[in-house]
Amino acid sequence: MQSSCRIMAMQDGVMRRAAMTIAAAAAAVGAAAQQPARTLQQDFDAATSLSQGTDKAAALAAWDALLARATRSARTAAIVQGRRASVLEQLGRNEEAAVAAEAALARMPTADPTLREDRYLTLLTRARVRRATLDYAGAATDFAAAEALADQPATRLGALNGLVEVQTFVDPAAAKIALGRADALIASSKLDPASQALFARRRAVLAMNTGDLATAQAESQRAVKLLGGLTSQSSIDDVAARGDAALALILAGQAERAREYLAYTGQGRLPNTTFDPARNMVVPDCGGEAALKPADLAVVEFTIGDDGAVTSAAPIYAAGGPTVGLEFARAAAGWSWTPEQVKELPRFYRYNVRVEMRCSTGFERQAVTTLLDDDLSAWLETKGLSVPDAPTNAATAAPAQRAALAAAEARDGRDSVKLLVPLLLLQNNPVVGREEAHDLAVRSLAIARAAGAPPRALLGLAIMERMSGATVGSQRAVGRALESLL
């Protein structure tokens, strides 16, 4: 009997403990159910905080998750895409960043004043992507649009800084005007020395590229002083400013003074005193699509990434016209070093490396499209059309070319063969951005195909369409493949 009572007591205890466990579990479930789900705003704030930190991969994951949730509001999705584009750009994923920025801008109504800041930030992101991919004309368009949206001196100056940088190698006259707007803002603002130095550098580089060597020397040396002068301490900004000052002095024939500035850039202080050339450090052939001449030269600045690839390339100075600098920068963007070479080169010396470049006269080649121009011209003549020579000033010609295209569309329709002449002139204008040029090339090819153009005429147009839509690396690959057929 006692045994039976003990068993019953044990069973009763087990049942009570089980009941308590079930009750506790139920309470936990109830508490979880009562906890409100995270709102979109909370996730947005968390993603914003991550974006401001150093873990950009985590920030991207947060924006991706938020984008998947933002399905009910096109406006919210556009804002998220814009912030996501910025993180992608910072990660160096430029093609994805461009797609995200494009999607964001397409869904941000320009008439909505509450989206002004987001449009500004997204335009800056796309401008930086275009600058990084050496589409300086497209970048200039975006920087100018961002400037128009900016409602504070600091944000306007941020856009103007980028605008002057890219317009120097697209439309120097417009760059000078933009710099004037920046100077007016700087005069009424309290800028820190580093920001003042940045704009002094912009003035110096523009002056160098327009032949005003006195201004180039004065402004480049002022930038050095604003950053602390010629001291043994060197930051990336110091090296760039001192390099500008040295280049301005070299151009002015003052080599001895230039050496003083070069000595403070770190040149000659590499551990093994050498800078190994890239495994594929080739320069463009003279001639080609850019019609490079042996007298043309450029000073190009680039950075070598941890994997040995060039992560950024930009022209600093060009003799032969602004587009010459961009052509040489495109060549440098394709260089790479082996992992062994990278290990031998301290990280500091891989930033803002500068080289002087000239084209190769070993095989002066015609552009591939030039070889097919005669076929296109001959076919256009059968239609009573002819393409005039390219204007001497591409920047001033662009507005008139756009007006001529609009007038032809209004007069003859968007699909008329008569549109080929204004389309070809505009798509080949170097101040037209890559995206716009590609859209024009697509239209040209479609119109010519519909009008029954012969194969060789279509081939030239097809090559232009393919090249205009390619990235810097893809352009070189396409060009090499075509040249192998000649």
How many whole angstroms separate alpha carbon 193 and alpha carbon 390? 43
Query: Is the separation of the CB atoms in 418 and 380 below 8 Å?
Result: no
Whether residue 373 sits in one domain with residue 355: no
Number of domains in the chain: 3
| DSSP for residue 308 | S
The 3-state DSSP class for residue 188 equals: coil
CA distance 96 to 99: 5
Residues 375 and 343 in one domain: no
Round to whole Å and give the CA distance between 207 and 218.
10
Q: Among the three residues 346, 365, 384, which one is the final residue of a domain in this structure? A: 365
379 and 472 co-located in one domain:
yes
Whether 349 maps to a domain, the answer reads yes
Locate 241 and state its tokens. 């400013």
Contact 265, 348 (CB under 8 A): no
Token readout for 299 is 């000073």
DSSP per-residue letters across 411-479: HH-TT-GGGHHHHHHHHT-TTS-HHHHHHHHHHHHHHHHHTT--HHHHHHHHHHHHHHTS-HHHHHHHH
- pLDDT at position 35 is 55
116 shares a domain with 87: yes
Q: Are residues 359 and 373 in the same domain?
A: no
109 within 8 A of 115, measured Cβ to Cβ: yes
Query: Do the beta carbons of residue 81 and residue 100 sit within 8 Å?
Result: yes
- Provide the pLDDT for residue 405: 92
Given a contact cutoff of 8 angstroms between Cβ atoms, the answer to whether 163 and 196 are in contact is no
Return the CATH number at 291.
Answer: 3.30.1150
pLDDT of residue 476: 53
Q: Across-strand partners of 310?
A: 304
**What is the phi/psi pair of residue 151, to 5°?**
-120, 10
Torsion angle of the four alpha carbons 232, 236, 237, 242, in this order, in degrees rounded to the nearest 10: 50
**pLDDT (0 to 100) of residue 26:** 46
> Where is 257: in which H helix or E strand?
helix 255-263
**Eight-class DSSP state of 291:** T
The reported pLDDT for the residue numbered 16 is 47
Q: For Cα atoms 344, 349, 351, give the angle at the middle one, nearest 5 degrees.
A: 125
CA distance 131 to 162: 9
What is the SS3 assignment for 69? Answer: helix
pLDDT (0 to 100) of residue 465: 85
Does one domain contain both 445 and 403? yes
Residues 380 and 356 in one domain: no
Same domain for 479 and 383: yes
Q: Which of 432, 468, 462, 436 is nearest to 448 (CA)?
A: 462
**CB 302 within 8 Å of CB 310:** yes
Residue 221 lies in a domain: no
SS3 (DSSP) at 355: strand
pLDDT of the residue at 427: 86
User: Is residue 225 in some structural domain?
Assistant: no
Same domain as 454, residue 356: no
Does residue 257 belong to any structural domain of this protein?
A: no
Residue numbers in the chain where pLDDT is lower than 70: 1-36, 266-280, 362-372, 392-396, 431, 470-486
Domain's final residue, options 83, 117, 133: 133
Please write the tens of the pLDDT for every residue from 149-164. 999 999 999 999 999 9
Which is it for the CA torsion 59, 61, 64, 69, positive or negative?
negative
Domain that holds residue 401: 368-483
Say whether both 405 and 356 belong to one domain.
Answer: no
Query: What is the rounded distance in angstroms from the CA atom of residue 322 to the CA atom of residue 223?
Result: 23
- pLDDT score recorded for residue 20: 47
Same domain, 392 and 321: no
- Residue 280: predicted pLDDT: 64
CATH number at residue 107: 1.25.40
Q: How many residues does the chain have?
A: 486
User: Is residue 13 situated within a structural domain?
Assistant: no
pLDDT at 64: 94
Q: With respect to residue 411, please indicate whether it lies within any of the assigned structural domains.
A: yes
Within a domain: 424: yes
Contact 309, 241 (CB under 8 A): no
Same domain, 373 and 463: yes
Q: Is 321 helix (H, G, I), strand (E, B) or coil?
A: coil
Distance CA 316, CA 325 (A): 7
142, 82 contact by CB (below 8 A): no
- Tell me, yes or no, whether 361 lies in a domain: yes
Last residue of a domain, one of 365, 381, 402: 365
